[in-house]
Chains A and B, each alone.
Chain A
Amino acid sequence: MRPTSPAAPVLELAGLTRSFGSLRVSDAVSLDVRPGEIHALIGPNGAGKTTLIHQISGLLRPDAGRVVLGGEDVTALPPHARARRGLARTFQITSVIPDASALDNVVMALRPAAGAIFRFRPDPAEDRRLAAEAAEFLELVGLGARTTIPAASLSHGERRGLELAMALAPQPRVLLLDEPMAGTGREESLRLVATLAGLKGRCAMLLVEHDMHAVFSLADRVSVLVGGRIVASGAPDHVRNDLQVRAAYLGDEAALC
């Protein structure tokens, strides 16, 4: 096991439970994300990953349990209030503002933190300041030369990068990455892994992912969700061995690798 950081977790899920009818989709899920680390969450289809993500982001309320963000209980807060407290996310299906330019997309991400939403007049000076800041984040994800292109005209991979820049721009405490490798080609996913590796330490990340290569090359810790429960959690090597043992004894339910 790697030495664990003594710092308090930036995101903590405590006993999250959520049922749909008689089906318990999240069953007392507890995990935490510490400052600067990448904590990966893996699990087969139907394990309850999406339901868990909805509870973290605020789209779903758990039946029981708490979501604690930076020491504050945010279980009852809607998505936008959680975002304002430092939770950023990317979506499984890339989610940007199609009509706006790449730069304007990132500027839009910067405004809430700048307290600049309910402004009813254009403010060119502030626009320039935010645009300069936004350009740095586009540079960071390799879109420095594409700032004026409407998001709708960017390639799929570029939009992924743009979404990442939008998530990082407000300097969140924790970044929720919802299957960032989904739908990417081999080459593109390698590039994305490299980009994420380069961002490591900038903010804590909870990486929900199918791509085992990405998970085991990026994560500091790995948790495995099966049937709504965390069945294994720990350092990547530890979890990998654990999973192989389970696969040998239990068959394919836990055979994820």
Chain B
Amino acid sequence: MTGPSRQSPSRAVAIAVPLLIFAALALLPLAAGFGPKSYILSLGARVMIFAIAAISLDLILGYGGMVSFGHAAFLGIGGYAAGMLIDGGRGDMLIALPVAMLASAIFAAATGYVSIRTKGVAFIMITLAFAQMIYFFANTLSAYGGSDGMTLYARSTLAGMPLLKGETAFYYVVLALLLAAFLACRSLVASPFGRALSAIRQNPARMAAMGYDVDRIRLVAYTLSGTLCGVAGFLLANQAEFVSPSYMAWQRSGELIAMVVLGGMGTLHGALLGAVAFLALEEILADLTPYWRLVFGPLLILVVLAGRGGLVGLLDRRRG
């Protein structure tokens, strides 16, 4: 499997895109004061949460060449971990977030152990199958609302303080986590591990012949990716104060792939831009017409066809 090919992103775009996005996100709460503030803040936080999920998917999709069609499972696992712990009175972020990450890591390691042995379409189907399994399992959790989902009676606290309660404070906590996730992933893909992962996407036989344990590297990447996506799930449940099996629906997994592909795979800032563009477009188009998916679908196809590197690829080409 050669995996998705990509152009090497120009350095200027790789710096300018995330810088502009993070600057805009940091300033958004100030600008929101002039409009429907809580709507803007909650949309902004939602975009950032999905950006974390999209970045985590880009690690294995763009860098690792593993097309996971079940990534939403981790949104659900992180979300349910938050919901169950808050329900049990242990919802402080210092406990609940690590537990959400651990649960995601365990699920990722266990399902990854099986899935990474397959390639191409088989990998897509097996990740989908695992996500469907946990989706239906969540439907049977009658103590936690079954298919109706569960309402969280409060948001997580942070070291006992109700920091996540106000929209603005919640917004900045999410922003800080997104920034941390982005920087950590940037560092990861430049590390020996990240370079090996990317090289394995391009030529697994060569890497094995040089002494790289290809399966183990893929599995570690898959587990790291799932763990990070669990963080997004934890935040999503806190924001909505609600979690349901629909978090793990396969459509959600598809949307995450669409975000990464729309923005440009294998660049991280592409996933960031993709999540912003995807959710903003969805919001704008859904406001204009109930048939917004009719417009949205072709638009997505256009971007993917026109810029083989997604939106980031288009930006690169404009400069070149």
Give chain A's interface residues, CB within 8 Å of chain B: 57, 78-81, 83-84, 88-89, 91, 95-100, 104, 108-109, 111-113, 116-123, 150, 166, 170
Contact = CB atoms under 8 A, between A and B. Distances in A.
A74 B205 CA distance: 18
Contact of A116 (B192, B194, B202, B217): B192
Given A89-B209, A95-B203, A121-B187, A111 B196 contact: yes
B208 A122 contact: no
A104 B202 CA distance: 14
A95 B195 contact: no
Sorted from nearest, which 10 A-B pairs have the closest CB atoms? A112-B211, A83-B211, A119-B192, A95-B206, A79-B208, A84-B211, A97-B199, A122-B190, A80-B208, A80-B213
A231 to B, nearest CB: 29
Given A117-B192, A118-B220, A108 B211 contact: no
Given A57-B209, A91-B205, A98-B202, 18 more contacts: A79-B209, A80-B207, A80-B210, A80-B212, A83-B210, A88-B209, A89-B209, A99-B198, A99-B199, A108-B207, A112-B212, A113-B211, A117-B192, A117-B193, A118-B193, A120-B193, A120-B194, A122-B190
A113 B211 CA distance: 8
Nearest to B224: A120
26 contacts: A78-B213, A79-B208, A80-B207, A80-B209, A80-B212, A83-B208, A83-B210, A95-B206, A96-B206, A97-B203, A97-B206, A97-B207, A99-B8, A99-B198, A99-B202, A100-B195, A108-B210, A112-B211, A113-B211, A117-B192, A117-B212, A119-B193, A122-B190, A122-B191, A123-B191, A170-B210
Contacts of B208: 78-80, 83
Contacts of A117: 192-193, 196, 212-213, 217
A91 to B, nearest CB: 7
B196 A83 contact: no
A156 B13 CA distance: 32
Nearest to B192: A119
B203 A109 contact: no
Nearest to B190: A122
Nearest to A83: B211
Nearest to B213: A80
Nearest to A116: B192
B214 interface: yes
Q: Per DSSP, are chain A's interface residues mostly helix, strand or loop, or mixed?
A: loop
A80 B213 CA distance: 6
A62 to B, nearest CB: 19
B224 to A, nearest CB: 8
Contacts of B188: 120-121
Contact of A166 (B190, B191, B196, B210): B210
A91 B206 contact: yes
Q: Point out which of B196, B211, B214 has the most chain A C-beta atoms below 10 A from its C-beta.
A: B211
A122 B185 CA distance: 11
Contacts of A170: 210-211
Contact of B203 (A83, A88, A96, A104): A96
A98 B207 CA distance: 12
B6 to A, nearest CB: 8
A122 B210 contact: no
Nearest to A104: B195
A25 B84 CA distance: 59
A89 B209 CA distance: 7
Contacts of A88: 209-210
A109 B210 contact: yes
Interface string B172-191: 00000000000000011011
A116 B217 CA distance: 12
A72 to B, nearest CB: 15
A88 to B, nearest CB: 7
B2 to A, nearest CB: 9
A21 to B, nearest CB: 25
